[in-house]
């Protein structure tokens, strides 16, 4: 079994992706790598390495010396955090991608997964059932970096045959680790506050619909995309992917079905502008047609699992 590395392994997606990949490939075949110097307990069943994706020489050396053939590059600043530090966000979100794309161009790596986002769309994009191919004028530094990244992935595939695959993840909802500074994070925070205080003050307004997805679906999509035959992957920028679209009000109502005393109030902040520039729902028919994508989790099931599983000790 050839070796795999997940860079940005301690984050919201990385934690669950490493566990899922280790289940398929074996613990020793999947390196978890992150800036953090200590390996979280949940990832301690397999190898962990402290790596800074911005230290290109170290990353190159580690991947070449350990004969790692598959890379999942997750390290990035997300939308809300990136707006507070745009220069650094641009650097982090772009430089790491070039390091990995170049390793593949030089044939040290066979396959790359690099995530894009619904943030590639902008205020001029049709917001309902947003098509795969449409106007894309992102208005956040995060969205601009993801849009540029998509173009570079496609370019490296077309020019150098680099097998890079990508998904435009919607907002992801999970309980194993906390989210890292996105505009969709309210849809995770709400469950912790529902458990702690039975009350939540949402930083988006009540009718702000956004595309979301339960993490189990997102991890399955990632693995299905990476395991699909090369010829099936017709899009080398990034695939649209749809899960569940809902507003804060609809999410609160679904929580109230289980916890009738739960209360929500609204205090929109700078993240409202970001959310207003993003799609409300996504057309993912290319992912379905090309590699058979179909979501499994709906709102009711997701809410039930989240209320059962979130552990307020993570806060």
Segments in 259-298 forming alpha helices (H): 271-276, 285-291
Return the number of other C-beta atoms located less than 10 Å from residue 314's C-beta: 10
Stretch of 15-23, 127-135, 180-188, 245-253 lying at the interface with ligand SER (CB under 6 A): 180-188
Q: Which is nearer to ligand NAD, 167 or 255 (CB)?
A: 167
**3-class secondary structure, 71:** strand
Per rule CB under 6 A, is residue 243 in the interface with ligand SER? no
Is 200 known to be catalytic? no
Which pair of tokens denotes residue 4? 């795999």
Stretch of 117-125, 131-139, 199-207, 213-221 lying at the interface with ligand SER (CB under 6 A): 117-125
CA atoms within 13 A on the CB side of 213: 28
> Tokens 């090309």 sit at which residue?
290
Residue 183's binding partner among ligand NAD, ligand SER, none (Cβ under 5 to 8 angstroms by kind) is: ligand SER
Angle, CA 174 vertex, CA 173 and CA 177 arms, to 5°: 130
Q: Which candidate in 142, 156, 186, 200 is catalytic?
A: 142
C-alpha–C-alpha distance, residues 204 and 208, integer Å? 7
Q: Which is nearer to ligand NAD, 10 or 274 (CB)?
A: 10
Which pair of tokens denotes residue 280? 């409300």
Per rule CB under 6 A, is residue 138 in the interface with ligand SER? no
| Near ligand NAD by CB under 6 A: residue from 53, 80, 235, 254 | 53
In contact, 100 and 109? CB cutoff 8 Å: yes
Q: Give residues in contact with ligand SER (CB under 6 A).
A: 78-79, 117-119, 142, 171, 182-184
Catalytic sites, residue numbers: 142
Q: Give residues in contact with ligand NAD (CB under 6 A).
A: 7-8, 10-14, 34-36, 51-54, 74-76, 78, 92, 115, 117, 169, 171-172, 179-180, 182, 184
């Amino acid at each position: 079994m050839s070796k795999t590395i997940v860079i940005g392994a301690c984050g919201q997606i990385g934690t669950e992706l490493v566990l899922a990949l280790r289940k398929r490939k074996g613990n020793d075949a999947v390196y978890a790598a992150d800036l953090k110097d200590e390996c979280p307990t949940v990832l301690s069943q397999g190898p962990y390495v402290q790596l800074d994706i911005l230290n290109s020489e170290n990353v190159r050396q580690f991947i070449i010396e350990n004969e790692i053939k598959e890379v999942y590059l997750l390290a990035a600043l997300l939308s809300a955090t990136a707006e507070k530090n745009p220069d650094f966000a641009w650097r982090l979100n772009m430089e790491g991608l070039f390091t990995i794309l170049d390793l593949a161009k030089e044939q040290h790596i066979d396959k790359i997964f690099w995530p894009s986002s619904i943030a590639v769309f902008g205020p001029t994009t049709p917001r309902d059932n947003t098509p795969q191919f449409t106007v894309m004028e992102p208005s956040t530094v995060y969205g601009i970096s993801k849009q540029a990244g998509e173009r570079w992935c496609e370019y490296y595939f077309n020019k150098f045959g680099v097998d890079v695959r990508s998904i435009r993840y919607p907002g992801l909802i999970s309980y194993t680790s906390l989210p890292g500074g996105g505009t969709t994070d309210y849809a995770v925070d709400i469950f912790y506050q529902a458990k702690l205080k039975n009350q939540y003050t949402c930083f988006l307004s009540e009718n702000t619909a956004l595309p979301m997805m339960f993490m189990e679906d997102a991890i399955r999509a990632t693995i299905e995309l990476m395991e699909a035959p090369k010829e099936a992957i017709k899009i080398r920028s990034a695939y649209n992917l749809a899960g569940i679209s809902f507003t804060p009000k609809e999410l609160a109502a679904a929580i109230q079905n289980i916890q009738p005393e739960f209360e929500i109030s609204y205090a929109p902040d700078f993240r409202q502008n970001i959310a207003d520039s993003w799609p409300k729902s996504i057309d993912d028919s290319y992912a379905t047609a090309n590699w058979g994508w179909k979501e499994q989790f709906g709102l009711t099931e997701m809410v039930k699992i989240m209320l059962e599983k979130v552990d307020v000790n993570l806060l």
